Structure 1
Amino acid sequence: MTDRRLRIASYVIALVGVCAAGYLVYTKYAHGGVCGVSGGCTVVQQSEWSELFGIPVSVLGVVGYGLIFAALTLRGEMARLLLVLFSGGGFLFSMYLMYRAYITLDAFCPFCTTSAVCMTLLFVISATRFVRGPDLVAAATDLDADAEGDEVDERGGVDGELAGA
């Protein structure tokens, strides 16, 4: 899978994650943590682990996804490193929260779980992109086009051709 496709997948996964975290923020403030979907949501949202230093963890999740979106708009090695750091931190924090929800509270919150799965996928994709480095097909196409004086279009192709086709 190309770097571009992995980046697009990351955008989609982050969008799903921010929607799940956003819904939890909404229920936390609008309904005191009472979620109409599952009794487990209410147990988790009203537990002592639902806040960190007085800030709801769902708000921290929205901020984390915001940082991931911001890093996805950047290019280069530093952007890929930031994505690994942000998604890795989110992944570790999500695993801690899942432990508290499932083991300590014996409760299931589908929105918390959705966010945790999204952070896990984002971390795996980010780590993969970081280890692989820049997309070699696109990089080779760019180099070939530069050497020949051709223009590289936004899809990574030369003069209308698709990269790797």
Structure 2
Amino acid sequence: MTYRMAVALVALVDSIVALYLHLWKIGLAGTLSCGAEHGCEVVQLSSYGWFLGVDVALIGAVGWAAVFVVAVLGTLPRWEDARWPTVALSALVLPALLFTLRLKYGEFIVLRSFCPWCAINAVIVVIASVLVALDGRRLRRLDADDVDDAPVPA
């Protein structure tokens, strides 16, 4: 499994989680499966559950779907060694990581709560960040190998 395939897999999982949370928030998913402390409801219904008037879970669902699409395109033979998918994934995943840090601060420090679904997102965004960094390293090695294989002028 390539790094990009792994990114696609974790992005698919997180987009499903985010979609579930969004559907719950708009009343289409029934009861939120969370735990006895109801941390998910506390977090989802707080001001941290919204960003510029948009549901954070919806932002996550759309964002992770975009990550999934870019990662899948990057696995196609035509683009498996292209730089643009990794650059695009970095542009999508880094803001997600920073935004997740903000959300974790709000969840733990401000709200003093815990949402297991949000924890899944936090773990996945870290995994995706590491995978994208590893893919960038793979591409740098390919570039270095290409330079080493270049003919030396006489």
Q: Same fold (TM over 0.5)?
A: yes
Of 15, 19, 42, which aligns to 1:18?
A: 15
Equivalents in 2 of 1:134, 1:5: separation in Å? 15
User: Root-mean-square deviation (CA), in Å?
Assistant: 2.3
Gaps of 5+ in 2: 147-154
- Provide closer, same or farther for how the CA distance between residues 32 and 13 of structure 1 changes in structure 2, counting only shifts above 3 A: closer
Equivalents in 1 of 2:8, 2:98: separation in Å? 20
- Provide closer, same or farther for how the CA distance between residues 33 and 56 of structure 1 changes in structure 2, counting only shifts above 3 A: farther
Paired letter, 1:102? F
Of 84, 92, 97, which aligns to 1:78?
A: 84
Partner residue, 1:88: 94
RCO (CA 8 Å, sep 6+): is it higher in 1 or 2? 2
Partner residue, 1:48: 47
Identical residues among aligned pairs (%): 29
Kept in 1, the 8 Å contact 2:19–2:61? The answer is yes
Give CA deviations for 1:16-75 in whole Å, capped at 9, x if unaligned.
Answer: 111211111111111799624230000001101110111100000011101211211132
Paired letter, 1:104? V
Query: What secondary structure sits across from 2:26 in the alignment?
Result: helix
The offset of 1:14, in angstroms, is: 1.0
Kept in 2, the 8 Å contact 1:27–1:34? The answer is yes
Partner residue, 1:144: none
Kept in 2, the 8 Å contact 1:33–1:46? The answer is no
Equivalents in 2 of 1:70, 1:31: separation in Å? 25
Equivalents in 2 of 1:103, 1:33: separation in Å? 28
Equivalents in 2 of 1:99, 1:67: separation in Å? 25
Q: How many residues align?
A: 136
Partner residue, 2:151: none
Equivalents in 2 of 1:36, 1:20: separation in Å? 12
Partner residue, 2:134: 128
Equivalents in 2 of 1:31, 1:91: separation in Å? 28
